[in-house]
Amino acid sequence: MGAVIPITESYCIGCGRPYTIEQFYKSPNPLHHNGVLPYCKDCCNRMVHDYIKKYGNLESALWMTCVNVGIPFTRRAFEALERKISAKDKIGKTFNYVGNYMQVMNVNRKASDKWEEFADTDVSFGDIKNIQKHEESIKAQAEKFKLDWGHHEVEEYQFLEYRYEYYTDGLGELKPSQETLYRRLCLVELAIRKKDEAGEDTKEEQKQILQLMKALEIDDFKNTKDLSMAEKIIESQIAWMEEEEPAFHYKDLEKYKDFLGAESYWENHVKRPLRNLLIGSKEYTLKETQDEIASVTEKGDS
């Protein structure tokens, strides 16, 4: 049996070129035959930073990166990464998130943990709770935020962006005047928040909130959610019943006693053919007992 030739390089599907094996992170995934991730270190880290800018938080960004590179995203490993990050004084734009995540994943992995491929992920994307913009995302768009909101601290930008997205989600393209009013509304909310923390009076800001909501026509607090088909049917039936006197529907009990047609079906399609079969009768005319036209038809047949 020949000697095993060591793997000295691998191919990056991100760059589209080979690199020495040292340029790749080691992979726990048994499907990665070279023993490393299919993306080089630079591509992995560029990927997570791009996702941070797209989704606004590290948790979503790292989850999506794990999807692409084929490793599990686990709650325990991510929390360990967060603790490691919080212990640092400063996180730069080129911080090695993937490399640090791989490191803490190995350290916090128990013998019973099957952390190999993305299928071993224990957090769904819908369960990710981070709603604030990640600090790096804020810093990357600092100039834009200053133009939109004026000068504020990172946490204040996070609050303003969250509230603005909350108000405008699903509204489509806004007119410049609408965008200005929504931003003003968020800024007033921030002012209220800061005054509340300082124990100061916020009556004036509360008035501004109501005025802005009225201008934006969002001061009607009724539930305007879309009705389901069943709700629409029930609502129309209620409206129909409310327009009539209850006695109207019970005035002619003979007419409405077989409202669903069960009795006429039994008579026409069960009893009638059975009588014809058993006693040799020749009853061929259907009796539409609840149809006012049926009486005319029967007279014509007779």
236 assigned to some structural domain: no
Domain boundary among 137, 162, 178: 137
Is the residue at 88 inside a domain? yes
The band of 167, judged by pLDDT with boundaries at 50, 70 and 90, is: confident
Write down the pLDDT at residue 296: 41
Average pLDDT, the chain: 79
Q: Are residues 176 and 287 in the same domain?
A: no
131 shares a domain with 159: no
**Is 70 exceeded by the pLDDT of residue 156?**
yes
Give the percent of the chain with pLDDT over 90.
Answer: 27
Q: What is the pLDDT of residues 184-230, one digit of tens each?
A: 999 999 998 888 888 888 889 989 989 998 898 887 765 555 656 56
Place of tokens 């393209």: 173
Q: In whole angstroms, how far apart are CA 10 and each of 41, 45, 173?
A: 12, 17, 46
Is the domain of 210 the same as that of 265? no
Q: Are 145 and 95 in the same domain?
A: no
The verdict on 79 and 158 lying in the same domain is: no
> Could you tell me if 30 and 96 lie in one domain?
yes
* 41 lies in the same domain as 111: yes
Q: Which of 106, 137, 168 is the last residue of a domain?
A: 137
Domain identity same for 83 and 28: yes
The answer to whether residue 4 is domain-embedded is no
Token pair of 59, please? 């948790």
Longest dimension (CA), the chain: 104
Express each pLDDT in 52-83 by its tens digit. Answer: 888 777 888 899 999 999 999 998 999 888 88
Which domain covers residue 87, as residue numbers?
A: 9-137
Q: Show which of 108, 137, 166 is a domain's final residue.
A: 137
Give the total number of structural domains in the chain.
3
State the Cα–Cα distance between residues 50 and 62, nearest whole angstrom: 10
Query: Does residue 73 lie in a domain region?
Result: yes
Classify residue 80: in a domain, yes or no. yes
Q: How far apart are CA 166 and CA 189, in angstroms?
A: 13
Is residue 170 in a domain?
yes
The pLDDT score that the predictor gives to residue 297 is 41
Residue with more model confidence, 121 or 220:
121
Is residue 109's pLDDT more than 90? no
Joined tokens for residue 167: 């108000």
Task: Examine residue 231 and state whether it is found in any structural domain, yes or no.
Answer: no
Domain match, 252 and 282 both = yes
Residues 120 and 32 in one domain: yes
For residues 105 and 153, state if they share a domain: no
Same-domain pairing of 25 and 124: yes
**Pick from 33-37, 162-166, 294-298: least confident:** 294-298
Residue 125: pLDDT above 90? no
Model pTM above 0.75:
no
**pLDDT tens digits, 263-297:** 777 888 788 888 888 888 888 777 655 444 344 44
pLDDT tens-digit readout, 133-150? 556 556 666 777 788 888
Q: What is the pLDDT of residue 123?
A: 83
Whole-number pLDDT of residue 251? 58
